[in-house]
Each structure stands twice: as structure tokens, then as C-alpha cells.
Structure 1
Amino acid sequence: MGIQEVKLLCFWVSPYSKRVEWALKLKGIDYEYIEEDVFNKSHLLLELNPITKKVPVLVHDQKTIAESFVIIEYIDETWNNQYQLLPQQPYQRAIARFLANLVEEQVMRPAFIAMCATGEEREKAMNIIREAMYRIEEEINGKKFFGGENIGYLDIALGWISYFIPIWEEVGSLEIIDPFKYPATYTWMNNFVNNPIIKDTLPQREKLIDYFHNMKNEYSA
């Protein structure tokens, strides 16, 4: 499959976009990266994804796929003779999908709120996060990655935690993931973020801090 057959519309700060980048790079798939300004959406994005108008969007062989989890599964099934991402057993695949969605709902959104909010609103968000993190700690305990010795689907789905959470903690002046309460998760975060393929795709830290400081100020206003 040629380079010209795969295009990826992304936004540099989007953890959803990063997931798809990681999947493509781990699979060794050549693709054209197209940076989108989500605050001034291009005609191309609106044409390719007219329903949600969001990134990421994958274009393969003139077929368009949206939503990061859907795209990752499409990539894994389409290039199935290269580096498997999803577990082979149906039960393990089901657990991976369940945990990916759990963290999306009970860690990502509440962690962003915790970064921006104060008082009761922050504490409510933190309580939601704590319940989910105990489940994640249980799942990763004793493993290098959720995928075993290699990065897999769940690592990609949760990988944003390893880079974005420490930044949100700094911006919000709080601790979201306590390394003493979640030691296995903390070790996994370091393993993931220091993988050469992952490390090569990460946005500049200072640029991200500035971006999220602005987001926090807008939320407060």
C-alpha cells in the first residue's frame, strides 16, 4: 500500500489524534500528516467529517474513518500482518475496549475538570478518577504494558495519561495520579512515554503547558 493512500487529519494537542499516530507508527505505516486548526476548521475536514467535524480523521484508499478508537481498530484489521494491537482472544479484546471507554469517561473528562476547577467541583471529579484508577492499577500490575511486553491497543488508548496528566497536574497545581497509590500505573506511564516511537511524537512540553493554562483561564471565566 502506497504512501499516498493514507492521510491523517490531526490537531497537535489532541490526545485522540496522538492515539492514531501511535497506531500508524507502531504498525510501520507511511502516511501523510495534515495539521488541522480545530478553531478554524478547514473545508477538507468539514467535507471528510461533516457529522462531528472533529479530528482525527483517517483517509485510506479514498475511504474516510472518524473517531480514534474506531480508527485504531480499522488500522489493526487492515494491516493485520504487521504488529498486532488488539488482543487475540475475544474476552481480552472485550476487556480492553471496556477499560478504554471507562478511562475516557471517568479519567479523561474528570481530569480536565480537576485541572480547571476548584473546591467541590474539583473534589467530585477527583473521586470519579480514583475509582477508575484503582481498576487500571489492578489491570497493569505485574506487566510492562497492558499488551504484555509490547505496546498494544489499551496502551495506545490510555497512553495520553503518561504525558498529558503530568502537564494537567502542573497547570492545575494538584496531584491526579499518586505514584504511591498507583505504583504499577506510574511505572507503566514511564515505560510508555519513554518508548522511542512514542517519544518522537510528543508535543513540546512548554507549548502544551501554555495551551492548557489558556484553557484553564477560559474555563474559569
Structure 2
Amino acid sequence: MSEPVKLIGSLGSPYVHRAEVALRLKGVPYQLILEDLDDKSELLFTHNPANEKVPVLLHGDRSAVCESLVIVEYVDETFDGPPLLPADSHGRAMARFWARFVDEKCSMSMWGALIWMIVGQTHSEPAETVKDNLTLQERQLPEGKRFFGGDTIGYLDIAVGGITLWLGVFEQVAGMPLLTEEKHYTADETVRRCLPERGHLVAALTVRKELYVGLAKPAVPHAQTS
């Protein structure tokens, strides 16, 4: 009998989405344990004391596996199913490099871009940084292929996919375009089954909109109030 797999996560997280897609692509049954990040549980503190973040993967009685990209690699190496990382060492190195690029160069800039976009500064430095870095990353798509992994979704597609989804949400909340949303990734049935509901993400972000405006005003010259 296979050992149980549990995933500690939260609704709408692009990083939790990565772990869920990897598990589903591999055909691994799992239990999703939802975490309230405003009131973190003892379960999260126990299994990820290093940074108390989601996702966290629990597999049998092994030590917890933390960080979304680490979880994707663990799932790929541990369970049967279609490979997520390329078969050759160079391909794996490139996929890992560009996945880290997305997290280090794109993810953090997105939140800064959102704040500036909400107060009408669509051409802010964070927004331009996001555009430039995602454009650079998109050039890695193999010619004539739908996915970074070739004909099927792979490791780098998973790394990028959730972030791209959030970009579309940012655009809708701010009412300004930032970048064209990738359609191939979200057209996949396996991906769609664990995508957070778009309306839920928009509503959650809209609730915090005034908070973001308050944070932005001291930094944005001539910020206008409504």
C-alpha cells in the first residue's frame, strides 16, 4: 500500500499550485490541508519551522519537503508517471536556472508592479522589470513548441504557470495591461483542475487594494486619490 501524501497549502497561492500540478501530472492521490496564513497552525510551525510558509509536502513518515520547486523535483523523482524535468543533464540545468530566474527576478517585482499600477503608474520600474524579465524568459520556449517542456507540460512550465495566472489577476484589479497571459498552460485539463478560481483571486486582491494604495502613496510622486 502506498504511503499517504498530504500537502499543506493555501487557496490562490501560485506556489501551492506548482505542487498540486506536479502531483496531478504524476497521478499521485493527495490530501490538501488548507492553511490560514493570517493565523498559522501548529502543523505548519512543526513541519516548516525554517520559514513557516506553504507549500509543505508530507509523504509518509519522512521529513517534510518544503519550497515549491523542491517539491516539484521531489515528486518527479519519487513517483511514477510522465517526467517533469528533461532527461539530459544540460536540459535539467537550464530548466532549473530559468525556474530560479522566474522566482528571483519576476515574482518579487510583480508585487511592486501591482502597487504602482493600482495608483496609475503603469510605467513604473517594477512593471518594466517584470515585462523585460518575462520576455527574456519566454524566449526560452523551443521553436514550434507549446511548452517549455516541449510537447507536454514540464518543470519550467509549472514554475512559470502560476506566476502568469497572477499577472492576469493583477491586470484585472489594477485595470491596466501588463503582459499577455499565456493560454497554452491553462488550456491543459490537468492544470485547470487545480487552478484557483479567477474570481476568488480578484476578490481577495481587491479587498487589499486600499492597503496597497496606502503603501504606495508615500513612494509615488503626485499620487491621486479617488
- What is the TM-score when the length of structure 2 is the normalising length? 0.87
* Residue of 148, 161, 176 corresponding to 1:174: 176
User: 1:182 is matched with which residue?
Assistant: none
Distance 1:195 1:16, change over 3 A: same
Identity rate, percent: 36
Long gaps (5+) in structure 2: 215-226
Q: Is the 8 A contact 1:10 1:56 kept in 2?
A: yes
Q: Is the 8 A contact 2:18 2:68 kept in 1?
A: yes
* Residue of 141, 159, 162 corresponding to 2:161: 159
Amino acid aligned to 2:74: Y
Aligned residue pairs total 210
Aligned counterparts, 1:1-221, within 5 A: 2=2, 5-63=4-62, 64-79=64-79, 81-117=80-116, 118=119, 123-140=124-141, 141-177=143-179, 179=180, 186=181, 189-221=182-214
Q: Is the 8 A contact 1:11 1:35 kept in 2?
A: yes
Amino acid aligned to 2:76: D
CA-to-aligned-CA distance 1:150-180 (integer Å, 9 cap, x gap): 1000010111134221111111222211x4x
Long gaps (5+) in structure 1: 180-185
Displacement, 1:119? Answer: 6.3
Q: Secondary structure at the match of 1:207?
A: helix
Q: Distance in 2 between matches of 1:171 and 1:122?
A: 16
Which stretch of the first structure deviates more once superposed, 67-76 or 158-167?
Answer: 158-167
CA-to-aligned-CA distance 1:98-137 (integer Å, 9 cap, x gap): 1111111222221222112246696110221132122222
Q: Is the 8 A contact 2:16 2:55 kept in 1?
A: yes
Q: Distance in 2 between matches of 1:122 and 1:44?
A: 42
Q: Distance in 1 between matches of 2:150 and 2:105?
A: 24
Q: Secondary structure at the match of 1:159?
A: helix
Displacement, 1:41? Answer: 0.6
Structure with the higher helix share, 1 or 2: 1
Distance 1:120 1:165, change over 3 A: closer
Q: Distance in 1 between matches of 2:147 and 2:173?
A: 27
Q: Secondary structure at the match of 1:95?
A: helix
Q: Distance in 1 between matches of 2:211 and 2:123?
A: 16
Q: Distance in 1 between matches of 2:4 and 2:198?
A: 32
Amino acid aligned to 1:131: D
CA-to-aligned-CA distance 1:3-61 (integer Å, 9 cap, x gap): x5211001011110000000000000011111111111111111111111111000012
The structure with the largest alpha-carbon Rg is 2
Q: Secondary structure at the match of 2:124?
A: helix
Q: Is the 8 A contact 1:115 1:216 kept in 2?
A: no
Displacement, 1:142? Answer: 2.5
